[in-house]
Every structure is written in structure tokens, then in C-alpha cells.
Amino acid sequence: MKVPLLDLKEQYQSIKEEILKVAEEIFESQYFILGPRVEALEKDIAGYCFSKHALGVSSGTDALLISLMAADMDAQQTVITTPYTFFATAGSIFRTGARPIFVDIDPDTYNMSPESLERVIAAMTDNELASLKAVIPVHLYGQCADMDPILKIAKEYNLFVIEDAAQAIGSEYQGRRAGSMGDFGCFSFFPTKNLGAFGDGGMVITGSDDLYDKLSVLRVHGSHPKYYHKLVGGNFRLDAFQAAVISVKLKHLDKWTQSRQENARKYRELFATAGIDDVIKLPVEKEERHIYNQFVICVKDKRDELRLFLNDAGVGTEIYYPIPMHLQECFLALDYKKGDFPVAEYAALHTLALPIYPELSDDQIAYVVEKIKDFYDR
Ligand SMILES: *Cc1c(COP(=O)(O)O)cnc(C)c1O
């Protein structure tokens, strides 16, 4: 049996008519960038995420970058984030000239540990505190970080909070939705995300009128009015076609999220009877409405051998993420070393993402668990 990590073809078949209809309309109109389709999507995403404003941008990476630019990051400043995330989180901090500072993660959720955050800030000198401007928690794999203590610390030290919600659209924390709790919430429409475009795309949400105005200007090279530049922005625009695809898919998102949650529940049942809980740790659901962008298990030993075994059996898996940010070659100058973030380093060596996409069949899920059991029974 084949169980790919992700297969988008079946989902496409279910929305093909709707997509082809809007594609035809856009091609006939020859209107491709920003405009009414992007505006309509922005309104819908702001509503879906319980936020006031939303601004369509070119990617999730650019959502982070434009937020940092709107927060006036520069080479004198520092931003705290987690070392256990997709590269874009730390990369966009670095690209503004600011210095990323890492804090370790929670071993159950893999999200930023508020205790580590507190500890790192408490150890800072007055000068270091004066440079610290923002914190970027990441809602990894579809589950919100423990936001209340993070927001409290941010308030105490007057930090911008930029939520990297690229993997977490619609996930919830105490009745609030991912992205709506900080100053900026950043989303990605990369095709593998729960709400994926047919190319690159992203969105920033904010509750602040002033930050929204600034983001809007930064999106078009800082031009306001046209050809007058008070700020240096970039081309961070979203295509009408990507917006139209996302609008079509948004109507189906809750149903797909429900299927992912169902699949997670089925995995839990099957693993519970497989009797391998001494070697496999299942994802821990701490917050409400985990949207399962990924279903990531933690494997006590032989993770890489298990991955090869599953691959040979036709089961696709992935390692998110094999090298924590503080050990990446491009960040050598930040002067971190192995051992600085033991929880993130352990996760990098022991986690494995299993297929969780909505269209998986019961047989496929059962097959994945059976093969994992086979590996440990050998
Ligand atoms: C996907 C992702 C991004 C970047 O999004 P792109 O649209 O690929 O630029 C940023 N952060 C996290 C955590 C992501 O998973």
C-alpha cells in the first residue's frame, strides 16, 4: 500500500469545478495582482481568524518580513524566537539586520517555552534589554503556543509580538484564534499548509489600524501616495489567482480540519492498542483546536532506521526539522553551540511526521501504525 506524506490530488478533484470557474474569470479579466479578489479574501481571513484587519502578501516568509519591517527592526535590535521551526522564522529576523536570540521549547508541544523565555530575559543586561524589540512565538504543527505567559512577558518588556501562525490557521488558544493574539499574525498559503494556494502566498493579520496602514504601504515599496516614498518597503503583493484559489478552499477548511482531527484520533486509538507506547510518544494536545498541519511522533530510538523502513513499505514521512536554527551554518556568527537548547536538539533527532492529510483512508492509517509496530516487533 502507498501512503504518501501528503497528496493534494484528491482534494483538487473535489474543488476542480469551482477553481476552473474562477481561473477562467481571472484569465478573461487579465487583472492579476491585488484588487477585489485579494480584498475579498482579506476580509474573509480577518473574520475567520477573529481579527480586525488582514493584508494579503506574497508568502508566509514575506508576512514575517513585512511585520518585522513594520515594527522598525534594524541592526541595533534583537528578536527572540524558537530554534525549532522552519528556517523562515529566524531567517526573516536576520534579513532585517536584527539579531535572532533563541529560547528553548516545551518538550510536549515543541512550542516556545514561556519559562525559557522568562529565564533568557531575566539574564539580560540593561543594554541587552534596550535592544530587545520583539518576540516571535511559532504555533508549530497546528497547535498554539502557550500565549498568555508570553503575552504577559511581552507587555512587561514592551515587545512586539509577531505570531508565526504559518502552520496554524484556525487553531485556538482559550477562545482566541492563532495570529489574533499578538500585534501581527503571519500565515502562509504554501501548498502543503492546511490552506494552500496553487503557488506562494501569505497573509498578515493585525488588530491595529496604524500597523495595518503601515503594512499596506510597505507592501507596495513604501509608496504612498503613488510614487512618493516615506518608507522603503518591497514587492510583497498577493496575486488575484492565488487569492481566488484560497477563497474557494476557505469554504472547505473547517471540514478538512475536522478530517485531520479525526485522523489524529484514529492514530491515537490504533497506537493505544499497538502496545509500543514505550518507544513512541504521540503528539500532546495541550491547547484547544489543534488543526494538525502535521502529526509528529517522538521516537525513542532508531528514528532514522524507522523512517527508511517505512519508506520501503511505501509510507512517506518527514523530519521537521533535522537541524535546529542555532546550529545552522549561516548562524555560526550568533555564537551558539551544541547543548545550548537540549529540548530542541532532542526533538530534531527524535521526531517524525506521519501522513495526516484529510483524504487519508482508514486503511492507510491502519497500515502506517501496523508498519511501525512491525518495525519494533522485528
Ligand atoms: C511555511 C512556514 C513559513 C514560511 O512560509 P512560506 O509561505 O513558505 O514562505 C514560516 N514559518 C513556518 C513555521 C512555516 O511552517
This prediction's pTM: 0.98
Q: What's the rounded mean pLDDT across residues 102-128?
A: 98
Which amino acid would we find at residue 310? L
pLDDT at 378 over 90: no
Joined grid coordinates for residue 135:
518576540
> Ligand 1 centre and the CA of 88: distance in Å?
6
Q: b/e map of 109-134 (b: 16 or more CB within 10 Å)?
A: bbbbbbebbbebbeeeeeeeeeebbb
Where are any strands of DSSP class E within 87-188?
Answer: 99-102, 132-136, 160-164, 172-173, 176-177, 184-188
For ligand 1, atom 7, the nearest C-alpha belongs to: 60
Nearest ligand 1 atom, CA 139: 13
How far apart are the CA of 188 and the centre of ligand 1, in A?
Answer: 6
The overall average pLDDT reported for the chain is 97
- The helix (run of H) or strand (run of E) holding residue 17 is helix 9-29
Does residue 204 line the site of ligand 1, with CB under 6 A? no
Residue 250 C-alpha cell reads as 476557505
The C-alpha atoms of residue 324 and residue 346 are separated, in whole angstroms, by 10
Query: Which domains, and CATH codes, for the chain?
Result: 9-250 (3.40.640.10), 253-377 (3.90.1150.10)
pLDDT at residue 287 is higher than 90: no
Residue 182's φ and ψ, nearest 5 degrees, are -95, -160
Residue 82 has pLDDT above 90, yes or no: yes
Q: Is the pLDDT of residue 288 over 90?
A: no
CB-ligand 1 contact for 89 (6 Å cutoff): yes
- Residue 320 Cβ inside 6 Å of ligand 1? The answer reads no
